[in-house]
A and B are shown apart, each in its own frame.
Chain A
Amino acid sequence: MDEFLMFYAPFIVLIGAIILAFIVAPMDGAATRPPKEKKK
């Protein structure tokens, strides 16, 4: 188990993170929405 975590898992996490970054990057709807109005 530790062998897998030391030798293969680091690259899997790295490549996975790069792919995830490309997937979520275009989802920017939340950036352009105004914040909620304050309750009066």
Chain B
Amino acid sequence: MGNEESVFFSRVLTELTLSFHIIYATIGVGVPLMIMIAQWVGIRKNDEHYILLARRWARGFVITVAVGVVTGTAIGMQLSLLWPNFMELAGQVIALPLFMETFAFFFEAIFLGIYLYTWDRFDNQKKHLLLLVPVAIGASFSAVFITMVNAFMNAPQGFDIVDGELVNIQPLVAMFNPAMPTKVAHVVITAYMTSAFILAAIAAFRLLKGSDHVYHKKALFLTMKLGLIFSIGAAVIGDFSGKYLAEYQPEKLAAAEWHFETEGEAPLMLYGVLDGQEVKYAITIPYALSILAHSDPTAEVIGLNDFPEDEIPPLYIHYLFDTMVTIGVLMIMVSGLYWLGRHMRWRFIHSRWYRWLIVAGGPLTVIAIEAGWWYAEVGRQPWILRDIMKVPEAATTSGHVDTMLYLFATLYLILGVGSVVVLRRMFRKNPVEREIADREAEVREGTRKGGDHR
């Protein structure tokens, strides 16, 4: 295998691993907060349905954590095996958040274990809820630390290279790089958003399949409300990300918008096709790119023609950016209308087609996560460390990456199918209606602790 081939296979394997891992990681970051909110509402309102919601979500969550751990370990291993030259530099400069991510995960895992095994052990549910705080903090901080490493790849700082040697290394400066705040906040809030819409999709699906139980209605209303808040937040922070790009990685923004000439009053182009440097059939929103980049409709936005040709990212990222933004706006509308419709008692939000739209929202937000990451990563090309190291310079020269690719692809297939099968069986075998009836019987007979949750 030549070097070009090993670079190619390393790229494909890394992309496959990250694309698969991010589904489980996103759920792993977002769902603990959803569980916490549901249990908190249950305690505040002394409502058994919300407590049960928290309990069932927690059970499903464990399966996704398990897969996340396996694929996360695969990433750690592949980083060193496939990108050794990158890791040599990164290991000296940005290893701190990599380690801290592991600690955040242990923090989460230890308390998750205690939380799961102590349901019904506390007379006071509030004490049990306290155990969930470190789980939610650990989960979110795993994302914070690992995204810091990714931010460093986009805006490396905190070291100097003198005669090929790394000197003057400052790990904290590397961690708090300019890409960090927008990236960390966008990643965390979109994880909350995605988790809310996946859980909403499950509730809507149950209602579509004939359940009329108020449990599912409460679950749907709660998750749609949370989805609305977090999707608006994601769009606002996405706008800040645009401002970061305009300042620090203008080529990534210009490539996403097929913006060739540096000029003011720049419009935003949605979809369309590219003919040379001419954009055809696109939906054009006047001034919007200048506003996204600098909060000013007349501001100048740097175009692609200002960059050397070999430093321009692939232009197909335009469609990835558009997919992410379209799904974001769609989900704000779907959840906003649902929330308004609930208050205004509109009937159409209970129609089958609207519920199917909510069901589609689950997979759609996962697609937005994938599109967002592909955009952010492909948009950094040709660099692995912007302006310092190009991707081919970082890669392994091993001749066996293709074999690794096939083996890992098989592993992900087994994990993906396996986790879906286990989750389905778990919830089918123990339908919520039966669990509610059981718990009501326990409360009547007085055999359960914590009957009153306040």
Interface residues of A (CB under 8 A from B): 1-2, 5-11, 13-14, 16-18, 20-22, 24-26, 28, 30-33, 35-36, 38
Contact = CB atoms under 8 A, between A and B. Distances in A.
Contacts of A13: 185, 189, 233, 236-237, 240
Contacts of B182: 6, 10
From DSSP, what is the main secondary structure of chain B's interface residues? helix
Contacts of B221: 28, 30-31
Interface of B: 33, 37-38, 40-41, 44-45, 178, 181-182, 184-186, 188-189, 192, 214, 217-218, 220-222, 225-226, 229-230, 232-233, 236-237, 240, 243-244, 247, 294-295, 342-343, 345-347, 350
A35 B181 CA distance: 43
B222 A14 contact: no
A8 to B, nearest CB: 7
A22 B181 CA distance: 23
B45 A26 contact: yes
Given A25-B41, A26-B44, 19 more contacts: A1-B295, A5-B240, A5-B243, A5-B295, A6-B182, A10-B182, A10-B186, A11-B185, A13-B236, A17-B229, A17-B232, A21-B192, A22-B37, A28-B41, A28-B45, A30-B343, A31-B218, A32-B214, A32-B217
B82 to A, nearest CB: 31
A10 to B, nearest CB: 3
A13 B182 CA distance: 10
B229 A20 contact: yes
B189 A25 contact: no
